[in-house]
Amino acid sequence: WRDILALSSTMRTFNSTAAFKAAWKDLISLRQPYNFEFEEGSSSVVRIGHIAFITARFHFQNGLQPSGRSLGMLKIAPDIFEGFQDNAEPSRYKIVALSTILESVQGYGDPDVFPRHFLENTTLKTNEILNGASNGTIKSYNSNAKTGGSLTSNQFDALVVGLGPSGLSNIARLKALGLNAIACDKIPEVGLNWTDRYNSLRLHTPKMQNSLPFDFKPPKDANYYLTMEELKNYYQSFVAEYKLQDSLWLSTIVNHATYSKSKGSWTVTLIQAGNERVISARHLVFCVGNTGRVPQQPNLPGRESFHGTVIHSVDYTCATEWAGKRGIVIGTANTGHDVAEDMADAGMHVTMVQRLKTPVLTVPKLPLHKAFHDGVSVTEVDKWFHTNPLAIERVIMKTVFRQLFEQDKEKFDKLDARGFKVDREADLTQILYERAGRHYMDVGVSQMIIDGRIDVKSGVALSEFTNKGLKFADGTELEADIIVFATGYSTDMRLAISKILDPETVNQLDETWRLDEEGNPRGSWKPIGHPNIWFCPGDISHTRFFSRFIALQVKAEVEGSPFVPYER
């Protein structure tokens, strides 16, 4: 049973039957939920390989004060007990998995609905209810909260740090709940955190999976894999649609933040046009990706002897000026493939250095290709897609990938023949939450490797730089003019924010991502060890969905009724 704020007031998973029963009994007694109602027409039979189960949904009020509207999702399967005959009809069924999530809180608004009066600049009539809040009133830091933050104000309910898709999702959800929030980023224009990266950048997942909140989808005529320019334009249209401009402080660096326990707020120093500005914010929401873009690469000896160019992929833009030269790309995840493709298309001779077997996923064959499309509500798909207990998700995904890998056997064999070693036993849960990637979502580069346009060096450890290139542990050498380390970033978000927060605060924070003992991502979307600080990592679909829960938790604290996590 996985609960997200509905009954546990935090994010918990109870994995064993005994733990499930004990927690359910305890929480039902503590919370006194009521108004349980089955959702007619919600049941269906799902078959994935040899796995089959019945799904159904129900709704309830969670019994807290103020009460929260909650959603429950069941997976039910026959009880295959000892002695059960294969040809027999099951006499009983059992719950395989239960997911419960908080959808909204009475009087707070709905994080999935942006209030109409914010968009139309109208005033609500007396006692009018809109988006779950009477008159849109809140207990905010200042009177600007009903209509959005003032550019001249220095007190806010929340400061969002970062304006990528996570930052945009969070600021929009916070504003939807009537909070006086701002978002800061050093970029001068929304979307530049994508266009300032390498020129060939495009997403490796379907465009609908990368929607922003409120079912605001990318244009129908956009590429299936959104390019950086399409992303920039899409993000800017989102800002315009929901009139977020005054809440976005661009060309602004968050320099330092100090927490006052007595005041329950942060004093934050910003740098704008070279000048300091000090503001106060009750909450900090860090939206700086899974890694904070702190590069990591192997420390090879002999760097000073190499006469060519060495860069990390964070500094890579394009290979046009290197036409005819020799390039080495170290790393075989998504970025490594993108860089190698760009080099090959520019007329370079390029070799990818593969250090470990790499999972290769063919995107159009993945379940997400069928789940996220023009005809669905992304808001509703998210509730199904992102709420499974990860132990159940792991079993389902292993079955799915076993089928996909069998379908792609011929392609994988051809890659193996070219020296590219495919991990055919990949565990998607481990890829996403433990490894933070290191896989390739194939958007066409695998075929370039098969066709011989990109060479591969694998199975041998890197040893050192030489004056002509790189030497390997077996004594072989690759010559190059340009070497790009596509070796990723540190997965410890605390490194990324250590320049903003003092060491004492950072030391109180849990690590982010990776899984705790219950199978939940650590330090993500929930309290992280220090009051009023939140991290929102993950891919675009993760941040779109889980930002709703950050907004609800921030809103509850501002209203004076913070969630108290169940800890038994």
CA 302 to chain centre: 38
Summarised one tens digit per residue, pLDDT across range 13-44 is 999 999 999 999 999 999 999 999 999 999 99
Query: Stretch 300-306: mean pLDDT, rounded?
Result: 93
Token pair recorded at residue 455: 């060479």
Amino acid making up residue 200:
S
The one-character DSSP state at 322 is: G
Give one DSSP letter per residue of 258-307, joined into a string.
EEETTTTEEEEEEEETTEEEEEEEEEEEE-STTTTT-B-----TTGGG--
Give the pLDDT confidence score for residue 87 in this predicted structure: 55
pLDDT tier for residue 413 given thresholds of 50, 70 and 90:
very high
Whether residues 181 and 262 fall in one domain? yes
In terms of domains, do 232 and 178 share one? yes
- Give percent of the chain with pLDDT exceeding 90: 62
Q: How many CB atoms lie within 10 A of CB 176?
A: 24
pLDDT at residue 194 tops 90: no
The reply to whether 385 and 481 lie within a common domain is yes
Query: C-alpha distances in angstroms, 237 versus 188, 212, 241, 362, 434?
Result: 16, 11, 6, 30, 34
**Residue 531 within any structural domain of the chain:** yes
- Band of the pLDDT at 128, cuts 50, 70, 90? very low
Taking a C-beta distance cutoff of 8 angstroms, is the pair 53, 95 a contact? Answer: no
What are the respective helix, strand and coil percentages of the chain, to the nearest 5?
Answer: 30, 25, 45
Q: Tell me the average pLDDT across 166-179.
A: 97
Q: Which of 359, 340, 379 is nearest to 480 (CA)?
A: 340
- Is 80 contained in some domain? yes
Query: Rounded mean pLDDT of 484-504?
Result: 86
Identify residue 462 by its one-letter amino acid code: L
The residue count for the chain: 568
User: Is 338 part of any domain?
Assistant: yes
d(CA 423, CA 427): 10
Helix, strand or coil, per DSSP, at residue 247: helix
The token duo for 343 is: 């080099």
CA 111 to CA 246: how far, in whole Å?
20
Q: Are residues 470 and 448 in the same domain?
A: yes
CB 484 within 8 A of CB 327: yes
Q: Is residue 188 part of a domain?
A: yes
Residues 334/440, Cβ–Cβ less than 8 Å: yes
Same domain, 401 and 538: no
* Domain endpoint, select from 463, 485, 507: 485
With 60 as the cut, is the pLDDT of residue 145 above it? no
Amino acid at 310: V
Q: Which of 10-24, 318-332, 414-428, 486-500 has the lowest mean pLDDT?
A: 486-500
Give the pLDDT score at 368: 58
Q: What is the mean pLDDT of the chain?
A: 87
CA distances from 197 to 194, 206, 339, 345 (A): 6, 20, 11, 18
What gap in Å lies between CA 456 and CA 449, rounded to an integer?
Answer: 8
Amino acid (one-letter) located at 308: G
Neighbours of 535 (CB within 10 A): 30
Ranges 364-373, 382-391, 418-427, 493-502: which has the least confidence: 364-373
Match 């939940």 to its residue by tokens.
Answer: 520
Q: Which domain covers residue 334, as residue numbers? A: 303-485
Beta bridge partners of 269: 256, 278
In a domain, 551, yes or no: yes
CB 177 within 8 A of CB 552: yes
Residue 145 maps to a domain: no
Q: Is there a single domain that holds both residue 311 and residue 449?
A: yes
State the residue for tokens 């959603």: 71
Residue 232 shares a structural domain with residue 314: no
Cis peptide before 66 (omega within 30 of 0): yes
Which of 105, 137, 168 is a domain's end point? 105
CATH at residue 444: 3.50.50.60
In this prediction, residues 87-103 reach a mean pLDDT of: 82
Q: Compute the distance between CA of residue 136 and CA of residue 67 in angstroms, rounded to an integer.
A: 18
Return the SS3 of 84: coil
Reported pTM: 0.88
User: What is the rounded distance in angstroms from the CA atom of residue 45 to the CA atom of residue 52?
Assistant: 7
Do residues 154 and 86 make contact, with C-beta atoms less than 8 angstroms apart?
no
Closest to 353 measured CA to CA, from 325, 327, 318: 327
Residues 420 and 540 in one domain: no
**Angstrom distance (rounded) from CA 146 to CA 8:** 30
For residue 460, tell me if it sits in a domain.
Answer: yes
| Number of structural domains the chain divides into | 3
Q: How far apart are CA 91 and CA 87, in angstroms?
A: 12
Task: Give residue-wise pLDDT tens across range 420-442.
Answer: 999 988 787 877 777 766 889 88
Mean pLDDT (whole number) for 201-230: 90
Confidence band of 158 (pLDDT split at 50, 70, 90): very high
Q: What is the mean pLDDT of residues 310-324?
A: 91
Q: Are residues 424 and 538 part of one domain?
A: no
- The whole-number pLDDT of residue 125 equals 43
pLDDT of res. 490: 74
Give me the pLDDT at residue 117, please.
61
Question: Are residues 49 and 159 both part of a single domain?
Answer: no
Tell me the per-residue pLDDT of 551-565, one tens digit each, with 9 for 90 and over: 999 999 999 999 999
Per the DSSP assignment, residues forming a β-bridge with 285 are 160, 534
pLDDT at 255: 95
Which of 485, 513, 536 is the last residue in one of the domains? 485
Q: Is 480 found in the same domain as 530? A: no
Cβ neighbours of 36 (radius 10 Å):
11
Q: Which two structure tokens, joined as six digits, stand for 307?
A: 């006469």
* Averaged pLDDT for residues 326-354: 95
542 in Cβ contact with 553 (< 8 Å): no
What digits encode the pLDDT tens for the residues 247-292? Answer: 999 999 999 999 999 999 999 999 999 999 999 999 999 998 765 5
Apex 238 CA angle, 234 and 240, nearest 5: 115
Residue type, 18: A
Q: Within this chain, do residues 331 and 477 fall inside the same structural domain, yes or no? A: yes
According to the model, what pLDDT value does residue 141 have? 41
Read off the pLDDT of each residue in 149-170 and give the average, rounded to a whole number.
86
The alpha carbon dihedral of 47, 408, 221, 205 has a sign of positive
Query: Hey, what are 523's tokens?
Result: 């330090």
